[in-house]
Structure formats: C-alpha cells, structure tokens
C-alpha cells in the first residue's frame, strides 16, 4: 500500500467540467448517480456542479437539485464552482462547503472568458473567496492557461506565479494549475511546479492537464514526479475547452491515471474496475463511447 505522503489524490471534475460543454443535458437523477458511484469507487474529492446563470450553462442548471440528491459521505470534498457572490450564496444554500474560483494567467483569455483583465478578474474572485471564508467554507482556486493561451500563445511562468500569489493572498486552500487547451509538454511541467511551489508549497498545488495533444497523462505524471500529489481528472475523459479547437480531446481520463499509478507508491486507492463500470454505464446514457483508453481496453477484456 502506498504511503499516505506519496498517494496521489484524484479530484474528479467530470460532473462539472466534464458535463458543462456536453451538448445534451444529462438528467438530474443520472448526475446524482454519477457522483454517488464515483465516490463509491474511492474518489474523495469531486466537483459536483456549478452555480452559474442557467442561460450560460444550461447543462448545470440543476445544481440545487443535484446537491440535494447526492448521498453525502463523511470525509469527501464536494466542490462547486461559484464565479460570483450570487453563485456563492446559491452554493451555500444548497449545502456546499467548498467552492472553486478561477482566473487565467493570460489577460486575453480572461477578457474572452469573463470580460475582465487578469487584475479585474482576480479582484472579483477575491470578493467571492472573502465571503466564502467568512461563511466557514473552503476555497479552491483554478489558474487557467498555465502552459499556453489560445489568443496570446506563450504564457510566461512569472504570469502564472503572479496569479498563484493572488489566489494564495485571497485564501485559497488548494490551487489547481490548468493547461486549458492542452498544449503543454512534459519538460515544461517541472519548472512550472518549482516556481509555483516556491509560493505555496507542493502540498497545496494540484494540476489539471487537458489531453488535446495526447499529453494529459504524460504531463500529469511529470507533475507527480515533481512532487504534486493532487491531480484533476474526469471520468472517461469527458470535457474540454471550446477554445482548444473543434473535436479536441478534453480532460485527462480518471481511469487512465488510476491505471498508470496502480500498484506504485503513488497508487490512488481508487477502484479501477468500478470506474470501468461507471464508464460503460455513462457511455450508454450519453449514447457514445468515452475517450478513456484504459477503460476501453479493460472493457474489451470483459467482452472477450
């Protein structure tokens, strides 16, 4: 069994980040089942939903109902995205005790995503974090475009560090570094971790690497080698950034990371067979196979 200090914790983002760009709307009962089943597989931190305007993200308009329907398991972090104070108030009313805020390390991306430059976006999210902390809630910060921006291209590490410093100052307990469009390469990861860890320490850093160029797993493994012990993944590889290009792959599949680390000192402790069960069920609900390669290989063995 892996030492607790070496175990990699998965932050499952499928129910929020994975579903928010899916063209159809998954039913509330199916979302509840998805969350409960993922927790039953051994996931101990999960993005359950988002509290944003329903006209902006109709796929997640049922956040209150989802939070009411899930079976809360002690010790599991149930996280919801809350981009503004109104969303925070809705999350609090729904019984959420951890919210996530986000800002890109690129001015151009922030302007496109939230209509503000980086400083303005951080000020807005600082208000959310301040209020959340006053309510006794935990705050998770997302830094987008850490390895490249679809509008400005290269993003200097110093710009990433500046956002991490701001999120640390606003009270974020954990800060997730996101390669939003999946352009990063493994050799870029260690310098990024070293620079950001100098601000907050590796124990408060997570990584969120997309798989646009097939580098999601390689980059996540490079982060683990650099000392990171929290990795964002999505069941089946659901999700993706619309700015990454049509047909681009999305998040790193939970199954693929669990398979890669299984039996090692970094074993996640998540039940891979149960993840494959979830993958098969969810693919049936969504009417299409999910991108995870390891799940497909393991499922084919069952058929064979």
Which residues are part of the catalytic machinery? 241
Distance from C-alpha of 62 to C-alpha of 28, rounded to nearest angstrom: 7
CA nearest neighbour of 139 among 166, 161, 158, 113: 166
DSSP type of residue 160: H
Helix 157-169 with 186-200: angle, nearest 10 deg: 30
Determine contact, residues 218/189, Cβ cutoff 8 Å: no
User: What does the DSSP assignment read for 73-130?
Assistant: -TT-EEEEE--SHHHHHHHHHTT--EEEEEEES-HHHHHHHHSS-HHHHHHHHHHHHH
CA nearest neighbour of 42 among 284, 301, 273: 273
What is the three-class DSSP state of 16?
helix
From first CA to last CA, the distance across the chain in angstroms is 30
User: What does the DSSP assignment read for 271-294?
Assistant: -HHHHHHHHHHHHHHHTS--S-HH
CA distances from 55 to 58, 89, 278 (A): 6, 18, 29
- The count of C-alpha atoms lying within 13 angstroms of the C-alpha of 94, restricted to the half-sphere facing its C-beta, is 28
- Tokens matching residue 111: 């302007």
| Residue 120: CB atoms within 10 Å | 15
């Amino acid at each position: 069994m892996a030492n607790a200090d070496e175990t990699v914790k998965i932050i499952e983002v499928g129910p929020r980040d994975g579903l928010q760009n899916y063209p159809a709307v998954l039913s509330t009962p199916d979302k509840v089942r998805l969350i409960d089943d993922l927790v039953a597989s051994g996931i101990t931190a999960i993005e359950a939903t988002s509290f944003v305007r329903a006209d902006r993200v109709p796929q997640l308009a049922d956040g209150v109902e989802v939070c009411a329907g899930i079976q809360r398991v002690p010790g599991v972090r149930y996280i919801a995205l809350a981009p503004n104070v109104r969303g925070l108030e809705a999350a609090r009313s729904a019984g959420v005790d951890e919210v996530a805020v986000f800002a890109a390390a690129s001015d151009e991306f922030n302007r496109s995503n939230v209509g503000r430059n980086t400083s303005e976006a951080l000020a807005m999210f600082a208000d959310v974090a301040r209020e959340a902390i006053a309510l006794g809630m935990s705050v998770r910060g997302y830094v987008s475009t850490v390895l490249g921006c679809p509008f400005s291209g290269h993003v200097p590490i110093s710009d990433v560090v500046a956002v991490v410093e701001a999120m640390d100052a606003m009270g974020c307990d954990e800060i997730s570094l996101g390669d939003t469009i999946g352009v990063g390469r493994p050799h870029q990861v260690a310098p990024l971790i070293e620079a950001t860890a100098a601000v907050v320490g590796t124990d408060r850093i997570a990584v969120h690497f997309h798989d646009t160029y097939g580098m999601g797993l390689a980059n996540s493994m490079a982060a683990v080698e650099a000392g990171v012990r929290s990795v964002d993944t999505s069941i089946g590889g659901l999700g993706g950034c619309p700015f990454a290009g049509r047909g681009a792959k999305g998040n790193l599949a939970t199954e693929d990371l669990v398979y890669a680390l299984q039996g090692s000192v970094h074993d996640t402790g998540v039940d891979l067979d149960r993840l494959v069960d979830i993958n098969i069920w969810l693919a049936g609900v969504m009417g299409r196979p999910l991108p995870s390669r390891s799940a497909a290989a393991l499922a084919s063995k069952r058929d064979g």
